[in-house]
Amino acid sequence: MSVTAKAQRKEKVIKEAVSKAPQKMKKTAAKQEVIPKSKDGHKPDTTQFDSEYNPMKVENAWYSWWENQNFFEPKAADKKFVMILPPPNVTGELHLGHALTASIEDAITRYHRMCGEESLWVPGTDHAGIATQFRVEKKIYDEKKLHRGEYSREYFLEEAHKWVESKSGTILSQLRDMGSSLAWKDTYYTLDEKRSESVIAAFIKLFDEGLIYRSERLVNWDCALKTAISDAEVEYITLTKRTKLNVPNHKYPQYPFGVMTHFYYEICDKDGKKTGEKVEIATTRLETMLGDTAVAINPKDARYNHLHGMYVWHPIREVPIPIIQDEILVDMNFGTGVVKVTPGHDPNDYEVYKRHPEIGLISILTPDGAIASGYGQFSGMMRFDARVEMVKWMKEHGLYKEEKDHEMRLGITQRGHDIVEQVITPQWFVNTTDMAARAIKAVDDGELKIVPDEF
């Protein structure tokens, strides 16, 4: 099935959901005692009141009548008012937050409509990207016990289409149940043909203008979902001491966090000849030492003047890595004054790499969070399993010193519920420098008004 055909099918599904939703409401209302319409198409305003308010009896009948009268469709007028309902994700049913948003926007739209303005409130649903993918993959696993990679892309898309079909109608019916005065004839889906073509056209235009570009950078990575995620999709927890947490797709039920591990690197020259001296390193992420490309000292720290130009021996990769001087990274009054540098998995160390590009950059993780090939017995282990085994290995090789409780801030991915990792991947970026300047100017000049003023 072509991309266009798939988009057309999705658009058809949404339109069918829109048309079926009022029928569903009418059937529900028919089971109740519905107030009949008069001959001129208007509801009579006299009836015997029930002893208790029956929302199903009243609300369904009224909404059907509003729609039949096309009250929600825009009427031509000199002044126009247009607003888009933030499209709910097709990941389930609506919640209280959606009800709050819909109620506020409905009141605003009705106000403008009552003022005689040509008012259009546009409904729609959003494919939700990663969230929908996660739900569909979970559904496939629950029903078929199949993981991603064990079925074809075509099978996944077919299951995703079924998910959209099942959820869109429910969402649109819920909006009707809330009395939302939306212009249903204009209902859209963020992956329908019109929206998809607009996105592609905008992408090409921004790329041609040099505003969209491809670059390798450190990004938040969800190993459970095998995808990059935004900062907004990471929640942080603070650990004050050693705390065991669940981690998806690992060997053991729980793993300790909030721990500082102290180990040693042996000093050597550029050829790997050891001097017999060691330096102490402390880290909360022991497994990342596999990707260390340097250790750093402060150039003003007299304790380590004799180490200028020297190296340390990486015991697992079996290569010397340089001792560099970096006053920005290293606080010589904190800890031992010697800091491991892992540019491929830490934002501060990545900045060190940009100041000292000669140290290089390597990535130790596969997309699912396992240790990549080239790291001896640890290759193939999930990253936190490797952490456990590395403690044992360092003890056996005389490189382990101790572990201490350590307060730390830990990022958890919202959807995958995994520990967020920093990894280098090629991603698309948008240069917003000029856009931001123009937006600020529009606010300063009064062209764009933000309400209320304190925002």
Could you report the per-residue pLDDT of 173-183, keeping only the tens digit for each? 999 999 999 99
pLDDT of residue 164: 82
> How much is the pLDDT for 443?
93
Give 422 or 35, the one with higher predicted confidence: 422
Give the C-alpha distances (Å, rounded to integers) separating 149 from 217, 248, 418.
Answer: 26, 17, 19
pLDDT at 353 over 80: yes
DSSP 415: T
Evaluate if residue 424 carries a pLDDT over 90.
yes
- pLDDT: which is higher, 194 or 129: 194
In tens, the pLDDT along 300-349 reads: 999 999 999 999 999 999 999 999 999 999 999 888 999 999 999 999 99
156-167 pLDDT, tens digit each: 888 888 888 788
CATH number for 3-209 (one of 3.40.50.620, 3.40.50.10860, 3.30.70.580, 3.90.1170.50): it is 3.40.50.620
Range with lowest mean pLDDT among 149-158, 252-261, 420-429: 149-158
Whether residue 363 has pLDDT greater than 50: yes
**Sign of the CA dihedral running 90, 94, 99, 103:** positive
- Tell me the fold of 238-426: Isoleucyl-tRNA Synthetase; domain 2 (3.90.740)
Rounded Cα distance between 453 and 84, Å, is 22
Residue 220's alpha-carbon distances to 130, 233, 246, in angstroms, are 14, 9, 19
pLDDT tier, 31 (very low <50, low <70, confident <90, very high otherwise): very low
Q: What are the extents of the domains in the chain?
A: 3-209, 238-426
Task: Flag whether pLDDT at 67 surpasses 70.
Answer: yes
Which residue, 40, 233, 221, 200, is CA-closest to 131?
A: 233
414: left (phi over 0), alpha (psi -120 to 50) or beta: alpha
Question: Phi and psi (nearest 5°) for 252?
Answer: -100, 155
Tell me phi and psi for residue 251, to 5 degrees. Answer: -70, -45
For the chain, what percentages of helix, strand and coil (3-state, to nearest 5) are there? Answer: 40, 25, 40
Bridge pairing between strands 408-413 and 234-239? antiparallel
Q: Are 371 and 379 in contact (CB under 8 A)?
A: yes
Query: What is the per-residue pLDDT for 166?
Result: 82
Q: Is 366 within 8 Å of 380 (Cβ atoms)? A: no
> Please, are residues 344 and 361 in contact by the beta-carbon 8 Å criterion?
yes
pLDDT the model gives residue 41:
52
Alpha helices, DSSP H, located in 333-444: 347-355, 383-396, 433-444
Mean pLDDT of 209-222: 93
Please tell me the distance from the alpha carbon of residue 164 to that of residue 92, in angstroms, as a whole number: 10
